[in-house]
Structure 1
């Protein structure tokens, strides 16, 4: 699933939020967006998902114009947003209910891969924050959309749980090859997970820099944390985010 954003512009209450934004995400690629708070990253996801319509520019999926159209991607917000009255299985099943079909074999397989099979009949309040985030991610995967937009999914977790979730996501993505656009404020997280990192300017948002991560994805990359090459890249990205 290839995503192309061409000359995208959006104004909210007479304030330009996004202006002349250009970027692309190739099929199966993991691209992270990092930038100042309030730069318009979440607004971009609303535009991609069809909740907002751009004042200018085009959004293409596999060459098809989708401006203002919904139902083309899976979205995972910062908070799990699980329905407390539904079991874990039924929360995950929600993604398929929206398309009026339920593939129980597929859902049970996803829950098993995420280590959630034993809690499928429990309710959200019975799970830890990390497990709730896993449920939310599996719900996004269950939609079977090839494009996933993840909006700081680990931002509210403590450091230890966040590290575990990052490793879990890396292992899961080896099995579930999807095209991912990922918002994060953590440079280390962006390096760990991404093929490319787009450094965004303050509002109105544009791509200020584009950086290819030079390390192979997977366990090998995790083992490179703290190396000279890793620290050098991290400092370069930090410098890009400093105001000029």
Structure 2
């Protein structure tokens, strides 16, 4: 599914948050957004999800205008936001209940692929933070939306758990061909996961630069960390954000 944002502008009252924003995410791409805190990244996701309607501009999915429409994408926030009274299986099933598409076989496949099949009958408080994030992510996948918007999903995790989740996500996406728009404050994470990185300005938000990541996806990319090319790209991105 191809996402196109054209001339998008939005303000809260008299305070402009997004101004004349343009970008494209092509089918199957993983695109990260990095920028200052408060620049409007989460507001952009509210616009894409139909919770807000832009004052100016268009949001297109496969060429169809979806301004103000809900139900076209799956969203994963920074916190897993699991329902404590529902089991892990029932939390994942919720996505299918809301979409009206029930597929028990898919749920079993997703739980097994995420290493959660053995804890499907447990409750969220019985799982670690990393496992809860996995539940939240496969709940998003179970909604059967091709476009996934991930809002700093690993930001609250410790460094080791975060690395494990990044590895797991890359491995999972080898089989789940989805289009991903990913918010992160970590330059290293953006380089590690993305096909392209959009560097954003402070509010009102615009795209400063579009930076392709020149390393192949997968385990080979982990092995490039710390190389001359990796560090040069990291410094380039840092300079853009600080400048």
Gaps of 5+ in 2: none
Structure 1: 5+ residue stretches without partners: none
2:172 matched to which residue of 1? 172
Cα distance in 2 for partners of 1:161, 1:75 equals 21
Shift of 1:222: 1.0
Normalised to the residue count of structure 1, the TM-score between the two structures is 0.99
- More displaced 10-residue stretch of structure 1: 177-186 or 94-103: 94-103
Q: Distance in 1 between matches of 2:169 and 2:4?
A: 25
- C-alpha distance in 1 between matches for 2:235 and 2:122: 43
CA distance in 2, matches of 1:162, 1:63: 35
Separation in structure 2 between the aligned mates of residue 242 and residue 89 of structure 1, nearest angstrom: 44
CA RMSD of aligned residues (A): 0.5
Q: Which residue does the alignment assign to 1:115?
A: 115
- Report the number of matched residues: 243
Matched residues in 2 for 1:171 and 1:101: separation? Answer: 25
**1:172-196 deviation line (CA, Å, top 9, x unaligned):** 0001010000000000000000000
1:231 aligned partner: 231
In the alignment, what sits opposite 2:33? 33
1:200 Cα shift?
0.1
How much does 1:232 deviate? 0.6
Structure 1 position 13, deviation (Å): 2.5
Which contiguous aligned blocks of 4+ residues in structure 1 show a shift greater than 6 angstroms? none
What residue is the counterpart of 2:97 in the other structure? 97
CA distance in 2, matches of 1:13, 1:168: 41
- After TM superposition, the score normalised by the length of structure 2 is 0.99
